[in-house]
Structures are given as structure tokens and as C-alpha cells.
Amino acid sequence: MANLEYTLAESGTIHIAEDVIQTIAGVALSEIDGVAKMAGSPVSGLAEQITGRRNLTRGVKVEFSNESQACILTVHVVLRYGVRIPEVAARVQEHVQSSVEQYTGLRVAAVHVHVVGLSLRDEGDQSDGFGLPGKVSNLIQQGTDLVKQGYDTAKSKVQSAAQAAKEATSDAVGTAKEKPQQVMDAAAEKAQQGAEAVKDAADGAADKTKDQLRE
């Protein structure tokens, strides 16, 4: 962003960044009764929604002439519904001009006011507004809400999947612990059955031998 430069006789030059003048004008606008908010691009509105920080340079354009050492300001504003637009616009021109001239020493040749919408709300309220800026603000808020809902839904699904995986792992570990014991019990049972069969066979052979000796 270009600096605005003017010269004071025998004192050197002064450089003022353009956004300094925009900020001074933005503060002046916020002090005027009847101005709901400054109107800027959808991108700047989205940045305010995300960061929660008010952009005082929004909707203010500065043109500077080195020859006349004067600047021309163009401001885009949304006014509150029910105000007399010419009266509020005149107060905007007067207050912005006097504020910039007081704080910078620059001469303000003109202040052009563009009323781009009407609003039933001030900037901090959540009710609907009129005109393009109000619609853009509402769309930005709806988009922000949808992003948050999508994030919450995705987070819930991930947590559910993680819990299901944890439970499945726990079940698998429990099953794995149970199987060796089952195998050991089955082997012991087979061994017992085998021992009993051997004993029965030995007893049978002994009885048969006794019978043969008697004969």
C-alpha cells in the first residue's frame, strides 16, 4: 500500500500510510449515529467473522494528490433503517473530513459517501439486514455455521469409529486370552480319556490271563 507524502517547509517530509487515513475515517464513521456499519468486500467480511476483529479500514478508499497536498475519501456505508439518509450522509462528510484533517494535517478536498444498504441492526447484532451487504453478511454467517456443523459431525464420526475400534480390539484380546485355556482343558480331557482307556485295557488283559490260568 502506497504511503502518502507531503512536505513541511524546512522540516523535511512526512509519510503517512494509506491505511492510517482509512483507520481514522473508519473510527469517525463508527462515531456517527445512524451508521450501522461500513461496507466492504465479502472477503473482508469473512475475515471479520473468522477473527472476530473489526476492520476499521473496510469500505474506505483514499486518493491523494501530491500537487495539492490534499486527499479525496470515498466511503461505503450501511445506514440504519428509518434515518434521514441526506442528513446522516452530510454528518459523515463533515465528521470524516474534520477527523482526518485534525489528526494528519492533510487537507481533505472531498468526502464521497456511498449508501449501499439499510439495516435493522447494528454491527454487533445477529438479525437480518437489507441490501447487498446485509445479504452477504448473512451468507457469510450461514457458511460459517455450515463449516462448524460439518466439523462437529466429522469429529463425532471419528470419535465413534475410534471407540468401535477400541471395543473390537478389547474383544479380540479377550478371545485370544480365552482360547489357550480352552485348548489346555480339551487336551487334559483327552489325556484323561486316554488314561482311562489304557487302564480298562490293562484290567481286561489281566482278567483274561487269570481265566486262562484257571483252565
* Per-residue model confidence as pLDDT tens digits over 39-64: 864 444 444 444 455 567 778 999 88
What topology does CATH give the domain 3-129?
Answer: Alpha-Beta Plaits (3.30.70)
Delimit the domains of the chain by residue range: 3-129
Give the mean pLDDT of 149-159: 81
- Which backbone phi and psi does 93 adopt, to 5 degrees? -60, -45
137-141, 162-166, 197-201: range with highest mean pLDDT: 162-166
> Would you state the pLDDT for residue 130?
46
106-110, 135-139, 156-160, 162-166: range with highest mean pLDDT: 106-110
Burial 16-50 (b: 16+ CB within 10 A, else e): bebebbbbbbbebbeebebbbbbbbeeeebbbbee
Check: pTM over 0.85? Answer yes or no: no
Is pLDDT of 190 > 50?
yes
- Which backbone phi and psi does 80 adopt, to 5 degrees? -75, 140
pLDDT digits (tens, 9 = 90+) for 173-186: 666 566 666 767 77
pLDDT digits (tens, 9 = 90+) for 10-39: 677 778 888 899 999 999 998 999 999 888
